[in-house]
Chain A
Amino acid sequence: MTKRKVISVIVENQPGVLARISGLFSGRGFNIESLAVGETEDVTTSRMTIVANGDDLVLEQILKQLNKLIDVIKVTDMSEESHVEVDLALIKVEIKDPAHKSDIMTTVGIFRARILDVTSDVFLIEVTGSEDKVNAFIELMKQHGIREMVRTGTIAMTRTKIQK
């Protein structure tokens, strides 16, 4: 059965590391849904958040293969921990009829999205949240027509355990 896994990978902040990771996925035929990379609090490391799909055997291999890379310092299977996930999308939504404007703005409100720019026929909207939430918002906007879209891919972080 295919499952989705969010994996957080701390890697050496060095050139070529991204290629090692993406090469691993393409070379071994692993399915990658999204990959987001950025700096961390430590300048010598970067953090990648990878969302991958596969059955249990494949997902286990993905974790092990990532761990095997020399430049990988730590692999965390977020699905095993309490965590938050955030995805961000920028979407240009068409305003085909001025009468639709308020409808779009209501949806933006409900989703706590933001309108970043507006012209006579386009809203540029930013929406953040879980992947599901962003997907739902995109579905609703499709009725109006999406001219252009970009997504960051999921980033995730474990919750800090509260000391009692």
Chain B
Amino acid sequence: MRGSKILLESLKKEGVDTIFGYPGGQALPIFDELYNEKAIKVYLVRHEQGAAHAADGYSRSTGKTGVCLATSGPGATNLVTGIATAYMDSIPMVALTGQVPTSLIGNDAFQESDMTGITRPIVKHNYLVKDVKDLAQIIKNAFYIANTGRPGPVLIDLPKDVMLAEADYVYPATPNLRGYKPNTEANKNQIKKAAEMIEKAERPILYVGGGVMLANACDEMVKLAEKINVPVTTTLMAIGAIPSAHVLNVGMLGMHGTRYANYAMQESDLIIAVGARFDDRVTGKVADFAPHADIIHIDIDPTAIGKIIRVDLPIVADSKSALRDLLSAVKKLEHKEWLLQVEEWKKEYPLKYIDSDKEIKPQYVLEKISQLAKEDTIITTEVGQHQMWAAQFLSFTKPRTFLTSGGLGTMGYGFPAAIGAQVANPGKLVIDIAGDGSIQMNIQELATAVKYNIPVKVAILNNGYLGMVRQWQELFFGGRYSSSDIESSVDFVKLAEAYGAKGILIEKKEDVEKALKTAFAHKGPVLMDFRISREENVWPMVPAGAGLGNMITEGLA
């Protein structure tokens, strides 16, 4: 069988039915094979970065491994930001790249780039297939690596001659990876110790990260929280792991988290960290972080444990199995006083904003979106102020419904990710909360959305600024708005129409609801341009380098 055919047969064995891709010379044998392949649908994007983010959104919204495909050289390097985005957030993805024929590798051949070299620090693993006989086994390994343990992207570089070469095809039953054995079950003694620590603690808190989402362990986590009655704070990556309205949920912690989540962390005497990694956006100044707390850290990745913060009890395990074990090991607990204290903070320091009748406030738009959206609506975001407002003001009830680039903070992520999520979830409402800066980073994907009638809705919170940059310049750089004013850079309605999509301009508060209803009812993709108050800031905020207890809020007294 030909290499390109072995590739597709192997992909099908891994359950792949969707690929986001873009062709080019060295990938032609693969695309030619795809031409006749009925069981795999290829979505032709308009920029390879879009393909990588779409595969990522496809994965985040389903848990399946997303697949993207690009040609060698510039096509492959265009994937890089998308691969790095997936890597930082531990998203299972397989990126396939065409490569120049093996005889030319290393010669600076036309459209050659050393993809295994370039992506080495941003993939879980990568392969250059030099012999067609290895192809099927490599694909088996790649999918196994991508979606077990701590998931992540795997790149497979496919030289053209290997795709054209012939070999016998037998799909291997198992990966052959003697150096890779993810540890999924928690050590029983450690679980017992954890249960003891939890039973002794007076002010415990569950600090939940994206790992819980990736392990599909949200149910177990909520059950544990309810059994031991502790507040739950989530990172940006874990929003949706516990319903926003759940009494125990104190929302997101960290730089733009809620005051009450941060206070609860700072005052706690036991942090139960699950699938979280103590990122600097979460801890603030490490030396001042949760000074009274012992820490139990559950993570599938041993390197995440003890990397930033000393941990009293490390548990290396899959969150799902560890939480299940912990759930049966702990007694039912109350923590009345502690929860009362948290409740008081909630009342005293709610997330708030000053609404206006003259201007559209971004938070107002988001509240309206939450009112009009359905339970299973999937939200993606770009990166900036709008992303933080979305994390703060939207409400969620289900896991895998909030897709955002947390670790890398990639502007341009949200729109192609929404396309990927919509492809995976054809019946659901998918909305990208965008900024006027970010949306222009992958705006070309409007063509993809229109061509395949992928009915994503984009809500641009248009402040005419690279708003998050402007906010930092206002607060920390004396108000010198260096290269952050992008006002009236584009007429988004005309732009949408130019691509054949629907565009709606919203300049008045009273039009917000109507526009959203129109957009949600529309059968195709829609770009909504909400002209919001220009210099609104994201509050509260822990300034970079300060402790979590030192949140600032201005103008919201």
Chain A interface residues (CB < 8 Å from chain B): 11-12, 16, 19-20, 23, 27, 57, 60-61, 64-65, 67-74
Contacts and interface: CB of A to CB of B under 8 A. Distances in A.
Contact of B302 (A12, A19, A64, A73): A64
B449 to A, nearest CB: 36
B382 interface: no
B240 to A, nearest CB: 28
Given A16-B116, A19-B120, A20-B120, A70 B306 contact: no
B307 interface: yes
Contact of B179 (A19, A27, A57, A70): A70
A108 B449 CA distance: 77
Contact residue range for chain B?
A: 10 to 19
B145 interface: yes
Contacts of B177: 70
Contacts of B180: 70
A57 B306 contact: yes
Contacts of B128: 16
Contacts of A27: 121
Given A16-B116, A61-B306, 11 more contacts: A12-B179, A16-B120, A57-B306, A61-B307, A64-B302, A64-B303, A67-B302, A70-B125, A70-B177, A70-B179, A70-B180
B269 interface: no
Nearest to A28: B121
Contacts of B301: 68
Nearest to B303: A64
B179 A72 contact: yes
B123 to A, nearest CB: 10
B298 to A, nearest CB: 16
B124 interface: yes
Contacts of B117: 19
A20 B125 CA distance: 10
A70 B144 CA distance: 12
Nearest to B182: A68
Contacts of B307: 61
26 contacts: A11-B179, A12-B179, A16-B128, A19-B117, A20-B120, A23-B120, A27-B121, A60-B306, A61-B303, A64-B302, A65-B303, A68-B301, A68-B302, A69-B179, A70-B124, A70-B125, A70-B145, A70-B177, A70-B179, A70-B180, A71-B125, A71-B179, A72-B179, A73-B178, A73-B179, A74-B179
Contacts of B125: 70-71
Nearest to B120: A23
Interface string B152-179: 0000000000000000000000000111
A36 B473 CA distance: 49
B121 A68 contact: no
A113 to B, nearest CB: 39
